[in-house]
Amino acid sequence: MEAFRFKFQNDFLGEFIMINITLPDGSIKSYEECPTGLDVAKSVSEAFARNCVAMEMDGNAVDLNTKITGDCKVNFITTRDKKALEILRHSAAHVMAEAILRLYKNAKLTIGPVVEDGFYYDIDMEPVSEDDFPKIEAEIKKIIDSKTPFERRLVSKPEAMEFYKGEPYKLELISELADGTISLYKQGDFTDLCRGPHIPHTGFIKAIKLMKVSGAYWRADPKKAQLQRIYGTAFFDKKELKAYLHLLEEARKRDHRKLGAELDLFSFHDEAPGMPFFHPRGMTIWNELIHYWRIEHRAAGYVETKTPILLNRKLWEKSGHWDNYRENMYTTLIDETEYAVKPMNCPGGMLLYDMKTHSYKDLPLRAAEIGLVHRHELSGVLSGLFRVRAFHQDDAHIFMTPDQIENEILGVLRLVDRIYSTFGLGFHLELSTRPEKSIGTDQQWALATEGLRSALNTYGRDYKINEGDGAFYGPKIDIHIKDALGRTWQCGTVQLDMALPERFNLSYIGSDNEKHRPIMIHRVIYGSIERFLGILVEHFAGRFPLWLAPVQIAVLPINDDLVPFAMEVKTALDKAAIRAEVDSRTESLNKKVRDAQLNRIPLILTIGAKEKESGTLSVRTLDGNVKFGISREEFLNRVQKHLRERSPELDIFRNQPPDGL
């Protein structure tokens, strides 16, 4: 690209200095005066500059109006980048705060961070409700329409304290900062304590909506002031806001807590907070999930085990959980000995492995367990099946030799792919490395991390690296599934562990007839079965595929005289291991059909005199297709084929040859 040259004279040295700016494509722009980021963006094109939100100088995000005073690498953050949305939303939090101060003169600001899908601001003010949002949003619109620039100002700590006298929360925050310069951001008459960066001006906010308000204690301390936490979201485009609100509405319709109650699947009770109760229909889905899991694991060479949920303190000290996970464990005293309810299945698996001597010929040993674990979660974070205190993990521990690492990890990833694809779930992978709080040597961590990285590279899918987010005993691959609404959920994980086999002194006899230390994989696929079931409720919106549906077929006689024949049909279905119910109520057929559809029953058989006389069936699928005159044999063949294949299709007639129909 053509170089733009400006003169910048160093007053102290009395000489000209050339500033070289390297752009992401490797090209270099040279300047003889200090340009701003906006100047450089405009040199690319005016259209490009209009879409720039901020920039990175040598990897550090700064405002677009920042003067560039030396050689550096510059990357522009545009409206298409994820970082840009975070900057926009943080700027929107400032705009909302200014609007609230205009309307509520006695309000005192605290902090206003960006969170997933939006932002919030905690404010000490009179109580507000969602009914107040329209007037706040009207004031926000005035600020946005003014296109007021965001201007950064650096002040000393004493100057900041002076500026915020009368603002107790800001003063408290400033007092905790190190001495030196402090960053403030000004937009019009409003100034906030902030390190930035921000959008160039308020007009960049094209769509904003306040979402909800809740109470929050200052610094999460119940002894401190209760604040109003006002949530909002913002986008660069009104269409994006509209799509987001549509997604929220669809998610509300699919809320597993709502559907779980409507479909009679599970419930929660004050007598056991955070510990779900599964009803008969919920247990049907549960058992189908476990049955399918067992089929896939047997085929993949796993054996199944079971370990106790209560183990004594010495075991947890040996495993490292007592020192690293104690605050999340439930404990009790038995015969003057301290015990803990297991939060993980791993230590029990170590004891089972150590029951006998193993040869290298026995490895890999893949031992799976559907283990009930308990973890103490704070009551405020409990959320339906998504965050509970008691849950089942579809755990497995794979003991192997060092040269088997890559093949075993690949085997797990391929098993993950098979299982998730059955539910129509896509996924992406993330590699999480050593956290600050961990056990094991540097050498063990390096070997384990490289083993995971090598397997991921061989597997051939893109993956992200999360530095410092591994388990305390080893690095891991986190598997994030994507549901029908495009939301992601972290369910599966693959963790490579060299520390626990050493702590438990596990060994195998190698080909040299000497003892060697096995390497171990911890892995889950469903993760928490409870949570996975909740995800499936929302993924399918309660319209489960035939093989998972609690009731697969509703048999609806059109009058009382036909109930005996309907029961005969049900008996035939029972013998074929198909879950069916007869609706023998004295209701109209339309009412029965409607109720079956509300209960998301995949197939509806309507039984009238014609069906009884001909011995055929009238079949209605959940998506509204109706077939008449289907023979029982044909119907059973189609249903059983659908079940064998675990087809995700709601219509048993779709994508199948007519078979003489």
Helix (H) or strand (E) holding 626: strand 626-631
- Alpha carbons within 13 A on the beta-carbon side of 236: 17
Q: Find tokens 């219509």 and name the residue.
A: 651
Tell which residue, 501, 493, 446, has the closest CA to residue 471. Answer: 493
Closest CA to 158 of 180, 133, 128: 180
Check 39, 394, 395, 651 and give the catalytic one: 395
Handedness of CA 543, 549, 551, 554 (dihedral sign): positive
What stretches of 199-275 show up as alpha helix (H) in DSSP?
238-254, 256-262
**Which CA distances in Å does 574 have to 466, 577, 582, 652?**
50, 5, 12, 18
Q: Count the helix, strand and coil residues of the chain and give each as a percent rounded to the nearest 5.
A: 35, 30, 35
Asked whether 400 and 408 are in contact (CB, 8 A), the reply is yes
**Catalytic annotation present for 522:** yes
Alpha-carbon separation of residue 308 from 1, 162, 371, 468, 559 (angstroms): 69, 62, 9, 32, 53
Q: What is the CA radius of gyration of the chain?
A: 31
Q: Which residue among 281, 476, 620, 638 is the active-site one?
A: 476
Neighbour count for residue 661 (Cβ, 10 Å): 13
Pairwise CA distance, residues 174 & 160, whole Å: 7
The two three-digit tokens of residue 378, written as one number: 């704070």
Residue 617: enclosing H or E segment and its boundaries?
strand 616-621
Nearest CA among 290, 281, 283 for reference residue 601: 281
Q: How many CB atoms lie within 10 A of CB 307?
A: 19
Q: Identify the residue whose tokens are 């690095």.
A: 475
Taking Cα atoms as reference points, which of 632, 623, 479, 612 lies closest to residue 557? 612
β-strand 114-115 against 476-482: which pairing, if any? unpaired
Q: Which residues pair with 644 in a beta bridge?
A: none
Query: Which residue, chain included where needed, has tokens 């965050």?
Result: 387
Between CA 108 and CA 416 the distance in angstroms is 50
Tokens of 474: 């080893």
Q: Which of 446, 479, 448, 476 is nearest to 461 (CA)?
A: 479
**Known catalytic membership, residue 346:** yes
- Residue 514 is given by DSSP the state S
Q: How many CA atoms lie within 13 A of 490 on its CB side?
A: 11
Burial class (CB in 10 A: 0-12, 13-18, 19+), 646: middle
Catalytic residue among 90, 366, 397, 620, which? Answer: 397
| 414 and 456 Cβ atoms separated by less than 8 Å | no
Amino acid in the structure at residue 525: I
- The whole-angstrom separation of Cα 356 and Cα 300 is 23
Active site residue 393: yes
Q: Of residues 522, 539, 600, 627, which has the active-site annotation?
A: 522
Known catalytic residue at 254: no
Find, among 651, 536, 635, 569, the residue nearest to 602 by Cα.
651
Read off the amino acid at residue 599. Answer: N
Residue 399: count of CB within 10 angstroms of its CB? 23
The one catalytic residue among 256, 321, 375, 620: 375
Catalytic entry in 393, 404, 444, 495: 393
Element (H, E) at 76: strand 72-78
Give CA 576 to chain center in angstroms: 39
Which listed residue (346, 495, 583, 620) is catalytic? Answer: 346
Among this protein's residues, is 395 annotated catalytic? yes
The DSSP letter of residue 23 is: -
Q: Report, as residue numbers or ranges, the catalytic residues.
A: 346, 375, 393, 395, 397, 476, 522
